[in-house]
Structure 1
Amino acid sequence: MSSSIKTLAKAIKFVGLFIIALLLIIWLSSPFVSRHYLTKYLNEHQLTLADKTTIRYNPFWSNLNIRELEIVSVENSDKPLISLKSLNVTLSLFKLLTDTLFVSEFAIDGLYLDVNLNGEAPVIGGFVIANNSNETKTSVETPAAQTTDLAKDSNNEVANNYQVSLPYFSLSNATFNVGIEQSQQEFIINSLVIKNVLASTKTQQAELVLNALINKAPLLLKLNADLTSEQRKISSEITLSELTLAPLQPLLTANIPEQEPLTMQGSISINSKQSISLSSAVTDINVETFELKATDFKATQKNKTVALNIFPLTLENFSMALVNEQAPKITGTASLNINDLKAYEGEGAQLLAKISAIKLDDIAVTTTESLITANIKNLIIEQSLFAENTTDDFPPLAQFKNLSINDVTVSQQGLFIDTINLLGLTIDTNLDKEKNITGLPTSPKDQPPVAEPIAKTINSPKTIEGEAGSEEKLFLLSLNSFSFGDTAGITFIDRSTSPYYKRSFNITTFNAGPFDNQKPQQESNFTLTGNSDKYANFNLSAVAKPFSKKDYYKLNGFFKEVSLPSLSTYIAQALNYELKSGQLDVNLDVTVDDKKIAGKTKLFLRGVELGAANDHETGTVKSQTSIPFNIALGMLKDGDGNVELDIPLKGSTDDPSFGMSGFINLLVKKATMSAAKEYLITTFVPYANVVTVAMSAGDYLLKVRFNDLNFPIKETQLTAQQSQFLAQFSALMTDKLDTQLTLCAIATPEDIDKPLGTKITDIDDIKQLAEISGQRLEAFKDYMVKEHGIASSRLLLCSPKIDSTKGAKPRITFTD
């Protein structure tokens, strides 16, 4: 018995020593064996293993250790495809007895991996990864074997009890060089730590912390996953700082045609905290915080560039619930701030738009059934301008200080806005000599216009007749009111005419609303008040039903003290006559109801006088051609030289007809001349410096003629030598409240350093003399209006004139 025991002990000892020796041999020979077989495998792929590489397996501890691994291509041995400073993996084989694959240690340091995704098949570390077609072919060739394996797995309940446990995994100093879409992307992992990994068919859990660089942009990712049968939740935090977009451009624009390349610049930063909860019935996605910043973003396509900064886009308490066979339920708040928005052509000289800031605060997102609704408390756009060419001296086409859109509700069904308020609006419309609006981009003259496809009106309220049930659902639009918060300025300059035409408007009040395409019979009210060129003023109000099937518009108001000489630029070309002097008042009261026009217009003309077109010289023979027309116009004038007309408006918008009976009757009525009044002489004697009473062989036996107000050569402002004339003139106008006069400024060649008698024909000289005359008129009229309270409507301005005769003096003439 004792001998048997001894024999068994010797056998056990021999077996133990044999196993130890075998394990020792495996440990000692593992570097050589692994190099032999690995080298043979690498040679098949045209790869080589560096001499300094060591691979050792310790069977005593089930430990795999790799040092200084380096694999290079045979064709290019200077650059490694895979390199590894160290890898250390330790398994606990005893844990297999409890159906657990326990990895007690797993650490990788100094990994470098070259990845090429540009070809048909990806190449990772020099190894070509087979495509799916080969794998599919192999699986199809052995369907019976595959079915048998699946059946075995489904019947093996023991396999369901296995689990993987990894207490700690670390990856540090890893670099991935990825070639994709003909670009190189670099992903550096400073540290990756995965802890408390437990994976089985019933439970999966892990904790992950990643500290990395994406093209040198810092990335921090924290993730905690706990997927159990009772609770399945994944929570994460992401911080990405200043990721440059230019290197990622090939990825972001991969689907854009080569004929229309898109280039992007700038950087983005992201900071977010979110979680996902999973259950059999509901998937909840919750974004606790999300913040996106874009710095110096710029996108260019077809020579057009958009540049902006986002500081920032935020989401808070944003959640989405995905319920089986139901529409998603979304709630949350958001805000968006965009700064320094620019859109331009070329290098930036042609500016399309420039917006200082766009602010959207308090955006609340909710869902009702399948309807997603966003409520925006305020949308504010600050300091904006549009259409400016920075290479010229013209102002932008339009600009404003602040646009505030309040209480906005938008959904798939419609857009609802409470109020829109606009501050600091300025519009400068300049037409060049070719009648192009300056500031707008122009196409090359040899480039034919591009025919744009006609878009189908999606939300037209009209339906196709004869098709039952074909009515499209109307997109709802509603605006309660739109208004200007302060005075808006509009300037119009037409340089295609000679002399060029200029007019300015100040809109002191503008209100419009309400508008609702669901209420076609609702009346929308409009109010517009303001002034033009200092003294002209207007007040207009209108009522409309913009969404009614039948036209309905009602307009009433007035436009007063419009200086007629300023309109001569356009009238002269059509009639060969110029408006030498006069003012126009217009009163409107017009209604359009279902294409029927009803109303009347009152025209009141003060001191209107016509002259031959393009006649800038006073007293020329050419000016005599306008006398017959002036006589005809004089038949309409009353005793004060005014014309008052009532013009009925009636007819249809399809074929308008304007009643002219009032005009004809007035022409006959005013054809009778009136006699002169004898008391004129005694009446005007106290104003001898201003007026002269003389006999006239014309319409009046006694004619009152106002004396001229002479100016020193080149002088445009009033002087002390003119004070006596000014005092008597103001006294006359104060005493005779019914008197209104036409003021004409006459310049001489000496005003521009040319001798008297010189015929002025150069267009630039004419413009210069006209500006001097205009300044004299403005100085005189402003003095009388501001200093002596004379109504501006009583002082009418005529177009400037030139007197080239010898002995002529710069002056202002006065006619009644």
Structure 2
Amino acid sequence: MTSDNNTKEKQPMTIHHRLKPRSLLARITLYFALFLVLFIFAIWLAIPPVANWYLTDFYKQQNRLFSADDISVNFFPPSVHLEKVRVSHEESTELELNRLDIQVSVAPLFKKTAYISDARIDGLFVYASQSQNAWNIAGLNIPLNSSNESNNTQDSGSEISKEEHTQPQKPSEQQAQENPSDGSMAWRLVVPKFEFNNSQFKIHNLLNDNITDSIAIKYLQVEDLQNQGLDVSGNVALDLNFNESNLALKSNIQYLQFLADIKLNSLDINAEIKDFLHFLPKEYRPLSGNINTSLQGNIKQVGATEFEVSLPSVDMNLNKLSADVPNAVAQLDTVNVRLTNSNISNTSNGELSATGILSTSLEKLDATFEDNKVQTQSFNLEVNQFALNKEGNAISLTVPSIELKNNNLQYENAKTKVSNNSVHLQLGNLVATIAEDKTLKLSTSLSSELNQSSLALDQLHLNNDRMAFDIEQLEVVQSDDKLNAKTAQTKVSNTHFILTESENVLASVGQVDLDLPTLRYSGTAYAATLAHLRLADIELSNLKDAPPLTVLDSLTIQDVNAVETHAEIKSIDLKGLRAHLLLDENRQLINLATLPAANDASDQNSTAHESTTNSSSANNRTNANNSEKLDNSTEPNKNTDLNNDETNSNKFALRLHEFSLSDNSYIQILDKSVEPDLDSTIDIDQLTATHIDSKDPNSVTHVLLKARNGKYSTIDLNADIQPFANKLTMQSKLAIRETELPPYSPYIAQALGYRIDSGQMDMDLDLNADKGQLEGNTHLVFREFDLGGRQESSKVVQTGAMPLNIAVGVLKDGQGNIELDIPLEGDVDNPEFKWTGFLMLPIKQALYKASASYLMQTFVPYANVISIAQIAGEQILKIRVEPLEFSFQQGQILPEQHSYLDQLNALMTDKPDSQVKACGIAVLGDLGESDELTIAEPEQQNTYLNGLANERANALKDYLVGKGIASNRIFVCAPQIDRDDDAKPRVALKF
């Protein structure tokens, strides 16, 4: 029993000894765990004061004050909490944090996931300043001396990274780089929500005019943020201010497996330009304005080089821009750019496409660039649903419609000024392509309207009230330096076009209407069809103090077909032509406006003055020189044997079927280079020319003219002429009726040798030309035709010579008419041929021969009164009417004068149609030796002499009337005084 008991007693002891090591281990573990807990607890308790003490001491060394209401670090779960943290320097805050909370979940860490369940920063303020050698950020000085090497390293690293990024790798290769070969998975970051609110960063730059920038973050919220390697996804909301500029963003970002999907729910930027000026050079800082941008869209990357951008709405506004930078000063009210429903995509094979609707507007621009100034009230551009595609090197653009509007545009520089009240331009169905071979093709329809346009070049001004043009189906192809173009229809309408110089109108057109059905151009070849062109209310050269040179009611051109070698026109019709040809003393057009000379104005003026002086001295307003200027000499054709086809092969040919001029047209000629001034008007009732063909030298043009000169004179021309033959060939009939001749006397004075005092002319001219040889006949009828004498002396009275102009009177029939038939012939190729001499010399010879023969036989019985002598063959017939001489102071007829007066009475009796003009003449010898007269005033002397001269003329008339001559056949001239020393008292007679 004892042994059993002993055995029983020993067993518990064995068990006790077996359990003792385990109990010790448990105790050790328990103690270690307790120690660890106590240690961590101690650390947890120590961290806030230690951190506070350390940071206080650290910032104290930086001469800064640090304070914090709460610094907390938790381990279960891991989290950090900061509250009311502040760093200050001399009562200025450099760092302030209202609150910071960061909490990490522990369990996901075992799955290599950092799950930040709480992340919040509120009320962060950081002040940073830059000096020449260091940055001070939140009270911490960061030297810049050692930054160069790091910058170089960073630059080289960035260049390497850029090269790596510029060579995109396949996703599998990049994943292989990111995921090691051991198959370990990259860490994953998950943040359900991150908030960064009410924070501000101030950056003071001592190197840049002590500028301080402020970056204020109202809120930055990131939700559902997930990141693993390069994969990122999440929602971002940001509201940030930079100085006074604001950026607001709401977006969803997904970048998974190298495929990006970024949704921009909204992006709003409101920027003040002045907030960014200090980043620019000083000379570009005088800028101000506001930029406002609003954006919505989606950006997708569907491959390494494939992407899609969808932008439902993009609005960009620039407001109140003011700039005063080198070479430019500008003021701008607003610029608005709106892009809607736009899409941009790029495929893996490089195909690029872009579509959308673009709207642009501009208000109140005033800009000056050097000496160029631009102003406009408004500008609007609408591009509807454009589509741009690029495949390889081929590019295509299609736009259903483009509309441009502009109001009050002005451009000005030192020499040019352009203004336009409004422009409205529309392009429809625009298609433009650039092929692989660089061939450009363009097709569109165009409609435009311009109102109140003007262009000024120095003193030259061009104004246009309204211009509108429409082009349908315009097609342009440019290839190999050749341009091909064609249109289906072109219409132009223009209202009141006017070109002026100072106060003079050079040209003006009231209305232009053009209808161009087709136009084709290919290199140097072109083809055009003009259905209708009408210009109305045309004025040319309308000077301030003179009537316009030309006025035309309308010019109409119908049915034109033109190619590069020739053109064919159905008709040209002019209505209401009013031409005023005003010639000055030098036979220069008074009312011809000229363009102002750009250079050498003084030289031109001096040359013009010299020319005028020489012209004045050469043209003493004499009949001979004036007539000479009308001569038109024709040089002989030296190439008479040239083939017509060779001559015209390189010339542009024109064929006109009909030309007409009608509707109250006239030409006024005022010539001040002759005495008296010519003022004549030719009214054109009808002028037509048919079948004009410059290509065919043998073509015959028919010309028909019906005109009037004054109320009663008529002109009728009917001619067939070959205008493009090498030598003049024509058949013509000209009939002129009741033309008053005196106005044209100065022009024919040289040919006839005498002035025309009076007379009417009827002429029937049949003139033919065969290869330059003229042949024809002129039938002339002169009514009341009187030729006057020449002024060959400065004496008041020329007596004693009776020229041919008096003798011509004897040719008149009982009705006072002269009728002549004159043959005409000549060679226009003769260098001495002159049209004036060709027409007038035969008339002169016919008149001379007939009158000379008659006078020689008629006036011999009256030798005491009339003497006749022929001088220089047929050139001068000297007919002298002897005066009735008186003695000094004699006023009445004496018996010794009866013989002369009886022959004069017989002459007038034999010639009952003759009339005589008696001009009494007194001389200085009539004053005698009377003291009363010799000492009298000149006015009294003239009164006496004029009375005596008048008494002598009346005495002659009384004598003839007493002999039975009718008093109405004798005319008494105004008394005259001859002051020559050898002058004799007399009565001069003129028949």
Normalization by structure 2: what TM-score? Answer: 0.53
Matched ranges for 1:704-783 at <5 A: 704=913
Match of 1:173 in 2: 317
Q: Given that residues 674 and 699 in structure 1 are in contact (C-alpha distance below 8 angstroms), is that contact kept between their aligned partners in structure 2?
A: no
Deviations 1:447-502 (A, max 9, x none): 433999xxxxxxxxx9xx9xxx9998433323222111323112222345454321
SS at match of 1:15: strand
Deviations for 1:615-671, whole angstroms, at most 9, x for unmatched residues? 9xxxx9947556332354246545554141404222343232858586676457656
2:253 — aligned with what? 92
Match of 1:398 among 550, 559, 564: 550
Tell me what 1:244 maps to: 408
**Residues 45 and 337 of structure 1: CA distance in aligned 2, closer, same or farther (over 3 Å):** farther
**What residue number does 2:444 align with?**
287
8 A Cα contact 1:577 1:626, kept in partner: no
Alpha-carbon shift at residue 522 of structure 1 (Å): 1.4
CA distance in 2, matches of 1:316, 1:277: 16
Q: Distance in 2 between matches of 1:802 and 1:490?
A: 41
Cα 1:44–1:703 shift into 2, 3 Å: same
For 1:26-65, list aligned pairs within 5 A.
28=196, 51=214, 54=217, 58-59=221-222, 60=225, 61=234, 63=236, 65=238
Instruction: Give the counterpart of 2:423 among 268, 285, 304.
Output: 268
Q: Secondary structure at the match of 1:17?
A: strand
Equivalent position amino acid for 2:827 in 1: G
* Stretch of structure 1 that moved more, 408-417 or 602-611: 408-417
1:69–1:84 contact (8 Å) kept in structure 2: yes
How far is 1:565 from its partner?
2.4
Q: d(CA) in 2 for partners of 1:585 and 1:319? A: 62
The residue type paired with residue 342 of structure 2 is K
Could you say if the C-alpha distance between residues 495 and 85 of structure 1 is closer, same or farther in structure 2, counting changes exceeding 3 Å? farther
Q: 1:437 aligns with which of 589, 593, 599?
A: 589
- Is 1:381 paired with 2:547? no
- Give the Å deviation of 1:414: 4.0
Aligned 8 A contact 1:584 1:604 in 2:
yes
Counterpart-to-counterpart distance in 1, 2:461 and 2:346: 51
Residues 102 and 165 in structure 1, CA contact (< 8 A), matched pair in contact too: no
Counterpart for residue 827 of structure 2: 651
Question: Matched residues in 1 for 2:762 and 2:379: separation?
Answer: 69
The answer for the alignment partner of 2:906 in structure 1 is 697
Aligned to 1:633: 808
SS of the equivalent of 2:912 reads strand
**Residues 499 and 508 in structure 2, CA contact (< 8 A), matched pair in contact too:** yes
* Structure of greater relative contact order (alpha carbons < 8 Å, 6+ residues apart): 1
CA shift, 1:435, in A, is: 4.7
* Contact 2:788/2:806 (<8 A) preserved: no
Query: Which of these residues, 217, 220, 228, is aligned with residue 379 of structure 2?
Result: 217
Residue 703 of structure 1 aligns to a residue whose secondary structure is coil
Q: How does 1:513-532 map to 2 (within 5 A)?
A: 513-532=690-709
Q: In 1, are the aligned partners of 2:359 and 2:380 still within 8 Å (CA)?
A: no
RMSD (Å), alpha carbons:
5.1
Q: 1:626 to 1:298 in 2, by over 3 A?
A: farther
**C-alpha distance in 1 between matches for 2:765 and 2:514:** 42
Q: 1:124 to 1:473 in 2, by over 3 A?
A: farther
Paired residues of 2:761 and 2:783 also in contact (CA < 8 A):
yes
Report the CA distance between 1:297 and its aligned residue.
0.7
Please state how far the C-alpha of 1:553 moved relative to its aligned partner.
Answer: 4.4
Q: Deviations over 1:540-587 (max 9, x none)?
A: 233333333344344431223221222345667998954222122333
Structure-2 separation of matches of 1:210 and 1:573: 77
Show the counterpart of 2:570.
Answer: 418
Partner of 2:939: none
In 1, Cα distance between equivalents of 2:326 and 2:402: 24
The question of whether the paired residues in 1 share the 8 Å contact of 2:683 and 2:708 is answered with yes
Deviations 1:78-112 (A, max 9, x none): xxxxx854453635224x53634534345345456
Alignment of 1:205 onto 2:365:
no
1:48 deviates by 5.2
Structure 1 window deviating more from structure 2 (60-69 vs 215-224): it is 60-69
Structure 2 partner of 1:560: 737
Pairing 1:364–2:518 present: yes
* Secondary structure class of the residue paired with 1:633: helix
Q: Higher strand proportion, which one?
A: 2
- Aligned with 1:309 (options 465, 469, 481): 465
Distance 1:330 1:386, change over 3 A: closer
In structure 2, give the amino acid aligned to 1:239. E
> Would you say 1:299 and 2:447 are equivalent positions?
no
Cα pair distance change 1:192/1:68, threshold 3 Å? farther
What secondary structure, in the 3-state scheme, does the structure 1 residue paired with 2:257 have?
A: helix
> Within 2, Cα distance between the matches of 1:594 and 1:416?
27
SS in 2 for 1:209: strand
Deviations 1:525-548, CA, capped at 9 Å, x for gaps: 222221102222111233333333
Percent of pairs with identical residues: 16
Q: Is 1:407 the counterpart of 2:565 in the alignment?
A: no
Q: 2:264 aligns with which of 104, 123, 142?
A: 104
Is the CA contact 1:30–1:57 (under 8 Å) kept in the aligned structure 2? no
The amino acid across from 1:409 in the alignment is N
Cα distance change of structure 1 residues 276 and 599 upon mapping to structure 2, 3 Å threshold = same
Equivalenced residue count is 616
Alpha-carbon shift at residue 14 of structure 1 (Å): 6.2
3-state secondary structure, aligned to 2:116? helix
Kindly state the Cα deviation for residue 505 of structure 1 after the two structures are TM-superposed.
0.9
Structure 1 gaps, min length 5 = 1-5, 71-82, 128-156, 251-257, 453-461, 676-694, 709-756, 762-800, 807-814
Question: How far did 1:126 drift?
Answer: 8.1
For 1:28, give the aligned amino acid.
F
Contact 2:584–2:673 under 8 Å retained in 1: yes
Kept after mapping to 2: 8 A contact 1:55/1:64 = no
| Structure 1 residue 16: Cα displacement | 1.6
Residue 506 of structure 1, CA deviation:
0.9
**Matched ranges for 1:146-165 at <5 A:** 161-165=305-309
The correspondence for 1:511, drawn from 688, 707, 710, is 688
SS at match of 1:520: coil
- The Cα of 1:382 is off from its aligned counterpart by 0.9
1:33-76, CA deviations, whole angstroms, 9 ceiling, x for partnerless residues? 7x75xx77xx8887957537659765544647464546xxxxxx
Q: Secondary structure at the match of 2:775?
A: strand
Equivalent residues of 1:523, 1:543 under 8 A apart: yes
Q: For 2:267, give the aligned amino acid.
A: A
* Distance apart, 1:306 and its partner CA: 0.5
**Post-superposition shift, 1:377?**
1.3
> Do structure 1's residue 184 and structure 2's residue 340 form an aligned pair?
no
Aligned to 2:965: none
User: Distance between the aligned counterparts of 1:84 and 1:414, measured in 2?
Assistant: 68
Question: In the alignment, residue 543 of structure 1 is paired with which amino acid?
Answer: D
The match for 1:586 among 760, 763, 775 is 763
| C-alpha contact (below 8 Å) 1:612/1:625 kept by paired residues | no
1:195 correspondence with 2:342: yes
